[in-house]
């Protein structure tokens, strides 16, 4: 399971402030903390308050790379901001993201090829977020087909079914879990599947419990990556245990510690 830390996001006030004031220490500390807690990659989003997202993205990538060498997941709705990040990354990046719209896919996949990156494809398009499994699979198939046209390996593609907060679209959650399972069947080798986990608990007051319960169910349905808060220790413990039960790691009495020693 690829754990992508979500905390370097300008949506959070303290991060936005650190970006604005160019406080390298705060950003690097946040990066190191997440990696030490088990993040395999770090999501980077300049956030809604950024006045110059291109410059901010470049600064974030450069600052973080001085502290850690994990993969970076460049998160922006703007291709030019992503490209600015791609120019600065030293290791293989993950582009976050493209929708299933043809124009968007063509722009983003061209960047994927140019920079040998990996990419997240979100099962939505201009018409909005799908509200059933069939529509999700249709959109995901469109992404897979387009990626193949571009010669992108299916293992480099992360398909995101788009999580609904449980207090908004409760009837969607089962559809989403089933979509994850079906996404894995779309081609061989199977594409990766990914969720932005914290969405599930948006606006609720039991966030950690909802996050970790959904995560274990999603892992059982074939989820291979998630953008999440690695500092939530119970969440990470649940993830490690779910993978153990699926025989992805060999049991020993100290299996939590063993996983963390990887």
**Of 151, 171, 205, 262, the one binding another protein by CB under 8 A:** 262
Rounded distance, CA 248 to CA 121, Å?
Answer: 25
83: its two tokens: 């490209």
Q: Residue 188 or 205: which CB sits closer to another protein?
A: 188
At 3, give phi and psi (nearest 5°).
-95, 120
Cβ-contact 192, 2 below 8 angstroms = yes
CB of 233 to another protein, least distance (A): 19
> Does position 51 bind another protein by CB under 8 A?
no
Q: How far is the CB of 242 from another protein (least distance, A)?
A: 17
Taking CB under 8 A as the binding criterion, the range among 9-17, 61-69, 72-80, 248-256 that sits at the site for another protein is 248-256
Is the Cβ–Cβ distance between 27 and 18 less than 8 Å? yes
Nearer to another protein, 12 or 255 (CB): 255
151 binding another protein? (CB under 8 A): no
Q: Look at residue 215 and give its three-state secondary structure.
A: helix
Question: Between 149 and 257, whose beta carbon lies closer to another protein?
Answer: 257
- Given 25, 80, 106, 257, the residue binding another protein (CB under 8 A): 257
Assess 254 for contact with another protein (CB under 8 A).
Answer: yes
Nearer to another protein, 103 or 257 (CB): 257
Q: In angstroms, rounded to a whole number, what is the distance separating the alpha carbons of residues 240 and 40?
A: 14
Q: How far apart are CA 38 and CA 233, in angstroms?
A: 10
CA torsion sign, 222 to 177 to 99 to 120? negative
Q: Is 21 in the site for another protein (CB under 8 A)?
A: no
Q: In this chain, which stretch among 41-49, 128-136, 179-187, 251-259 interacts with another protein, using CB under 8 A? A: 251-259
Candidates 65-73, 134-142, 212-220, 254-262; binding stretch for another protein (CB under 8 A): 254-262
Asked if 261 is part of the footprint of another protein (rule: CB under 8 A), the reply reads yes
Q: Which stretch binds another protein (CB under 8 A): 4-12, 48-56, 210-218, 245-253?
A: 245-253
* Structure tokens given for 185: 């069947």
Total Cβ atoms within 10 A of residue 199: 17
> Among residues 237 and 249, whose Cβ is nearest to another protein?
249
- Three-class SS of residue 72? strand
Is 251 among the residues that bind another protein (CB under 8 A)? Answer: yes
- For residues 222 and 86, give the distance between their C-alpha atoms in angstroms, rounded to a whole number: 29
Check binding of 249 to another protein (CB under 8 A): yes
Note the Cα 203 to chain centre separation in Å.
20
- Residue 259, preceding peptide bond in cis (omega within 30° of 0): no
**Interface contacts to another protein, rule CB under 8 A:** 249-254, 257-258, 261-262
């Amino acid at each position: 399971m690829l754990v992508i830390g979500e905390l370097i996001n300008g949506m959070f006030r303290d991060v936005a402030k650190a970006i604005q004031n160019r406080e390298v220490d705060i950003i690097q500390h946040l990066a190191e903390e997440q990696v030490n807690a088990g993040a395999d990659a770090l999501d980077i989003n300049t956030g809604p308050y950024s006045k110059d997202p291109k410059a901010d993205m470049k600064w974030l990538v450069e600052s973080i790379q001085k502290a850690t060498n994990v993969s970076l997941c460049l998160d922006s709705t703007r291709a030019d901001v992503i490209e600015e990040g791609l120019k600065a990354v030293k290791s293989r990046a993950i582009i976050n993201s493209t929708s299933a719209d043809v124009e968007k896919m063509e722009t983003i996949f061209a960047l994927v090829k140019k920079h040998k990156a990996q990419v997240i494809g979100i099962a939505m398009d201009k018409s909005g977020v799908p509200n059933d499994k069939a529509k999700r699979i249709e959109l995901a198939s469109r992404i897979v087909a387009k990626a193949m046209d571009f010669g992108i390996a299916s293992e480099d593609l992360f398909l995101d079914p788009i999580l609904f907060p449980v207090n908004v679209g409760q009837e969607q959650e089962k559809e989403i879990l089933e979509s994850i399972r079906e996404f894995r069947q779309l081609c061989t080798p199977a594409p990766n599947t990914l969720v932005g986990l914290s969405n599930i608990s948006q606006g609720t007051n039991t966030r950690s419990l909802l996050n970790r319960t959904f995560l274990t169910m999603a892992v059982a349905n074939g989820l291979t990556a998630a953008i999440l808060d690695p500092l939530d220790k119970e969440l990470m413990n649940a993830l490690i245990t779910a993978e153990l039960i699926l025989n992805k790691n060999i049991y020993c009495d100290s299996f939590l510690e063993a996983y963390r020693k990887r």
